[in-house]
Structures are given as C-alpha cells and as structure tokens.
C-alpha cells in the first residue's frame, strides 16, 4: 500500500471511530439532535474517503483492512472511554478476526 493509501486508511479509521463515539454519545444523551447530525456527517465523510481507498487498492483489501482496524480501534475506545467490557470469548473473536483479515490481505493472491 502506498503512503497515501495508508494515510487514507488512518483518516477513515479516525473518522469512523469518531462517528461511532458520537453515536454512543447520542444514545447516552436525551436524544440530542446535534450528536445524531455529527454522527451522520462523520459517517458520510468516512465513506467518501473509503471510496478513494477502494479505487486505489481494490475493494477486498480496502474494506478488509478498514474493518479490522476499526474493529480493534472501536473496541479500544469502548473499553477506555465508555467502560464497556469484553468477555473472554469476545476477546478470542477479536484476535481471530485480526488473524483472518491478515490472512486475506497479506496472503498471496491467486487468480
């Protein structure tokens, strides 16, 4: 992946994790419309960045990498900022998801 693609992946991850955090804040608020609007704007921007990433590296690689990076990042935010907990089975699932995506994206492509 090029440095630009890596930067796009990082940017989309930050934006998607921010959107998820805004969505969680909306659920904890009294249905404050500002949190909902922020959530929708952030998800829109994140998806626009993903469109560029899909064009640059392909749909399979872009979405697989994005999914696993977001999976880990969102769980870290949920643990650190929202006090959520992960069970042993869920933690094993996270590890297996990372391994699965690594195998998909880093393994040799056969056509």
Q: Say how far apart CA 100 and CA 86 lie, in whole Å.
A: 19
Distance CA 83, CA 24 (A): 12
Q: Percent of the chain beyond pLDDT 70? A: 95
Select from 45, 52, 99, 98 the least CA-distant residue to 75.
98
In a domain, 111, yes or no: no
Note the pTM of the prediction, 2 decimals.
Answer: 0.79
Query: Is residue 20 domain-resident?
Result: yes
| Residue 19 domain-assigned (yes or no) | yes
Tens digits of residue pLDDT in 43-80: 999 999 999 999 999 998 898 889 888 888 998 998 99
Q: Which two tokens stand for residue 10?
A: 């990082």
d(CA 36, CA 42): 10
Task: Determine the average pLDDT of the residues in 86-90.
Answer: 94
Domains contained in the chain, number:
1
What number of other Cβ atoms are within 10 A of residue 80's Cβ? 9
Residue 40 predicted with pLDDT over 90? yes
| Domain membership of residue 21 as a residue range | 3-106
């Amino acid at each position: 992946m090029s440095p630009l693609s890596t930067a796009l992946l990082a940017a989309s991850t930050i934006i998607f994790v921010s959107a998820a955090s805004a969505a969680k804040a909306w659920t904890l608020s009294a249905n404050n419309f500002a949190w909902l609007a922020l959530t929708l704007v952030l998800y829109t921007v994140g998806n626009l960045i993903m469109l560029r990433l899909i064009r640059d590296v392909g749909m399979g690689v872009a979405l697989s990498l994005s999914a696993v990076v977001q999976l880990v990042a969102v769980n870290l935010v949920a643990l650190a900022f929202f006090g959520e907990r992960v069970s042993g089975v869920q933690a094993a699932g996270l590890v297996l998801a990372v391994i699965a995506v690594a195998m998909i994206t880093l393994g040799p492509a056969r056509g």
